[in-house]
Chain A
Amino acid sequence: MTNIIEIKKLRKVYGDGVELVALDDVDLTIEEGEVLSIVGPSGSGKSTLLNMIGLLDTPTSGEIWLKGQNITNASPKERARLRNRELGFIFQYHHLLPEFDAVENVMMPLLIAGVDKKEARSQAIIHLEEVGLGDRLHNKPSQLSGGQNQRVAVARALAGHPSIVIGDEPTGNLDSKSSDMIYELLRKLNRQMKQTFILVTHDMNMAEKTDRILRLVDGRIVSEMRREGEGFVSRDKSRAE
């Protein structure tokens, strides 16, 4: 498999006076089609790492390569274009646009990409069918349950077939039944479309269903567990060792 993302000595420091190291020389390689979970306590740098991969944030130092291209210093316009074409986001809260119905919300990334409106609509309907909301096309977020909204958000993240789908606690706000449903959905889509999924989660139950689990503490990857058969093989990456 080819590497879709390579991260080299990535460092992010916040603050002017008192410095807060959010990411400390992180090296990471993610393969195409992989389902990766990032776990760790609050403030360990999970979200920061995810925002870097999602091109929403820029590192203090280090490099990010996407599909063999160094995008560390890409212009805001280029980053926006890459977010639109290569990345799909699922947030903890669905973050759907409240004035738009389900189809329109799913259409949005396609319209941003410049896809013709009619084409965008038919693609959006297909994505909503995939997440099992074919009968809720014209409901606005206020008319849908939390789980349904999150499924719309999944459909939106998949619109335009991005190569990487990023989830920041995608089930963090849902009950366990809805969580399982969302996870099964993501897994199914991963099998069908070979997209790469990177999920930040608190939920070990969900993490254990992914291909690889990275554990972050204080801005460092302290352990990495890779699925082999039914179990996980641990590789300790803590530098303290």
Chain B
Amino acid sequence: MTAHPRFATVLLAALPVMLIAGCASGDRLSSAVQGSAPPTTAATATQTFTCPADEVESDGSTPKSYEPDGTLPAFDELPDGSTMAEIRDRGALRVGVSADTLLFGARNPLSGEIEGFDIDMLKEVAKAIFGVGDDVAYDLLDFVVIPYSQRIPKLRSGEVDIVAHTMTINCVRWQQIAFSSEYYTSGQRVLVEVTSPYASIDELEDAGATVCVPEGSTNQEKLADYPGIKAVAVPDISDCLVALQAGEVQAITGDDTVLAGLGAQDPSTAVVGPSFTAEPYGLGMPAERVDLVKFVNALLEEMRTDGRWQSIYDRWLLGTLGPQTPPSARYAREEP
């Protein structure tokens, strides 16, 4: 009889051991790790700019720019403390450009260099500031390739000194940055496939067609005048050609010069219909750099008269857009 309690006691003592032996330690597979970029400065609130009534040109023409202070100064006579002297002393002109707008700013995949009408304009600015020849000017440009939507932000943040990026001069943009005098006149048109039944922006609107447009461009603003069109905004106009070739949109709208560059990459497309806007192109600069704007305007004056503008135009655009003469400048803008 005395053996029974002892036996039961041993069993009861062993019970927790047995149970513990069957328990798990709970090691499991962890979820995936996720890193993060270092924090950046807080984003500023979005600011809306409107065009003051006294800034609107009564005849609808291009807003005026700052008149040059006489002739273009030599590179070694740039005023001390001026923006140009600062750039010269820095040894590089920081420029915001497109790298995929054929004929205006596009990277040559074989040479690696960005080339086009806009790039040659910037090379002229570099030659004037640094006093160098054509062969060296390119190396003095610090390229920052930016999409359309970043043209104004990059200037306002001071990351670039000047933007040459098929940029239309208008009153609202003048509230945020400064422009040179007009250096090229373009117009907004449409690009469609050669088999397309649509031959103008009006026909596209009547059909309720889907049209691609670069985000943040004046082309996008103008497209709002055609409410029948379904607009598809993309970061860059090259993305529009991808969308057109994929059949995702029926047309692309943009400046005729840019559309010509797209058409040169795809022979099954064509620029059609009349221009429905006048797009005066200007070189963008920070609003407070009035001295740089005047300097560039003086340079453009020289280029209009000495044939350099014509030479650059003929090199890049004559073949696709036919003969054109330099646009005239409009000055007498009051300094802020």
Are these two chains actual partners, yes or no?
Answer: no
Chain A: residues with CB nearer than 8 A to chain B?
A: none
